[in-house]
Amino acid sequence: MSQLSIAHVPRPMRHFTPAQHWMNDPNGLFFDGELYHLYFQYNPHGVEHGNMSWGHATSSDLVNWSEHPVAILHDERHDIFSGSIVIDRHNSSGLGDGSTAPVIALYTAAARDGSNQAQALAYSLDGGYSFTKYAGNPVLDRNSADFRDPKVFHYSGPAGDYWVMVAVEAVERRVLFYRSENLLEWDELSGFGPQAACAGVWECPDLLELPVEDSAETKWVLVLSLNPGGVAGGSGTQYFIGDFDGTSFTPDHEQPARDHTDFATLAEGAWLDWGRDNYAGVSFHGLPRNRCTLIAWMSNWDYARQLPHERWRGSMTTARKVDLLRTDTGYAVRQRFVGLPAAAAAESYGAGTHELALQGPTLIDVQARDLGEEPVRARFFRADGSPLSELLLGAQQISHQRPSGRVDHELYPSTQHMPLPPSDGRLCAQLLLDAGSLEVLAAGGLRSLTDQLTGEETPARVLLTIPGGAQSDVACTPLPQHGSTATQELK
């Protein structure tokens, strides 16, 4: 393994990156009625993970972001680890000033000597731009060194109306649920786990109440990141579908805890993403009930600290809307990219190789029918003609082969496999290409694969090979590039 840095890392145009310095998890996502607020794990002093604080950016469309000064700064004793934000509309905390609803951040105060992680609160009276740490911190301390990542939401249901916090005892592989009337005092409700994939620590939980398409029904989905032990290796995100009665989460299917790391066993689980680079994803607070949008960190702890960098290091995924579909085998999470323009007209391609020339970020929509054993092959090339990566799009599986490219790290080159639901020889996939990444949604959004292509421009050319006997319709939609995410270079 070597310490790297290269001359030029192109900045993604459709993904948030900070103007400078290190970034990891999204934190405190909320919508204030006009703007989406994105906070993030941030080192204000450099491109390494450290001095953890909350950076801040806002957007009206989840594509174009403006970065603001650091929202919550570390101090000599504590790092500000991941957490969430709620708007305290009825001033249940008493921290409001009588005119504006306080914006309340719950985060993990992580002792710098590693001895303790407890949940702490900071409040903002200017809509989320500047925060004051609560004098009575921490608000929830279990005397644990691995108790972190509080995600708070307002529960309103048969059991009553109150705040619920979901957090993890990371090493115990346990999700803990707490309840509060005022965001300051918390009572334990229940716990979940260990269950399913447990080969790494559990981090960044979120509990979503999602609508089921074409019904009045909702189901609860527990989203849980784990590292390592993800389906594609290293950091990954699994989910559990079930019910939350205001006290406990009960999954539809109980699973034994497994510390397997082999693909065949892991592939039996439910994964939010099958690529290498989709971690710590959480949802926005403040959206209308049953509407849910997620953003994740587009990286993997396997190599995040060693990726080549310029002034900044780290990128978010494209925002995705999520809901549930009822399928033959149960419920499944469906994702859709947010912020896409109207699709270009599709062209029909028969068997053979077709060349697509791209100019910057592009969405390629591939629909194929009558696919046999042989997959559709998409080969991506740089402007100088050299190969960049390759996707095999079959009716039963999609695979992305990512060579080391401009990254000199042993865990970076890899091939990701994503099994697809039965489809009768049909394939439907959306490929979102930007500088530095490829995101694939397939099977109508039931499958997602996110891989960084660090250090790369958007491919200049794609060779698409349609196998004999198959037919395809391909739409290539250029994506507006205005979304440079760090237009404000912070002084």
Class of residue 175 by CB neighbours under 10 A (exposed 0-12, middle 13-18, buried 19+): buried
List Cβ neighbours of 97 (8 Å cut-off, separation of 6 or more): 125
List Cβ neighbours of 139 (8 Å cut-off, separation of 6 or more): 106, 119, 120, 121, 183, 184, 185, 186
Contact by Cβ (8 Å): 422, 316: no
- Taking the complex as a whole, the smallest distance from the CB of residue 170 to ligand FRU amounts, in Å, to 6
Our answer to whether residue 25 is catalytic in this structure is: yes
- Taking the complex as a whole, the smallest distance from the CB of residue 456 to ligand FRU amounts, in Å, to 24
Class of residue 254 by CB neighbours under 10 A (exposed 0-12, middle 13-18, buried 19+): exposed
Query: What gap in Å lies between CA 398 and CA 394, rounded to an integer?
Result: 6
Given the complex with ligand FRU, which of 58 and 82 has the nearer CB atom?
Answer: 82
CA distances from 201 to 54, 175, 222, 259, 483 (A): 22, 11, 16, 11, 34
Q: What is the CA radius of gyration of the chain?
A: 22
Give the DSSP H/E element, type plus range, for residue 263. Answer: helix 263-266
- Taking the complex as a whole, the smallest distance from the CB of residue 240 to ligand FRU amounts, in Å, to 18
Query: What gap in Å lies between CA 422 and CA 419, rounded to an integer?
Result: 9
- Taking the complex as a whole, the smallest distance from the CB of residue 409 to ligand FRU amounts, in Å, to 18
Binding site for ligand FRU (CB under 6 A): 24-25, 41, 52, 81-82, 108, 148-149, 203-204, 280
User: DSSP letters along 197-262, please?
Assistant: E-SSEEEEEEEEEEEBTTSS-EEEEEEEEEES--TTSSSEEEEEEEEE-SS-EEESS---EE----
Given the complex with ligand FRU, which of 229 and 405 has the nearer CB atom?
Answer: 229
- Taking the complex as a whole, the smallest distance from the CB of residue 83 to ligand FRU amounts, in Å, to 8
Given the complex with ligand FRU, which of 74 and 447 has the nearer CB atom?
Answer: 74
- Taking the complex as a whole, the smallest distance from the CB of residue 81 to ligand FRU amounts, in Å, to 3
Selected catalytic residue, list 25, 277, 365, 434: 25
Half-sphere exposure for 60 (CA within 13 Å, toward CB)? 1
Given the complex with ligand FRU, which of 148 and 173 has the nearer CB atom?
Answer: 148
Given the complex with ligand FRU, which of 55 and 394 has the nearer CB atom?
Answer: 55
- Taking the complex as a whole, the smallest distance from the CB of residue 225 to ligand FRU amounts, in Å, to 7
Given the complex with ligand FRU, which of 226 and 366 has the nearer CB atom?
Answer: 226
3-state secondary structure of 490: coil
Cis peptide before 421 (omega within 30 of 0): no
Sheet holding 132-133, edge to edge: 78-87, 103-111, 117-124, 132-133
Annotated active-site positions, please?
25
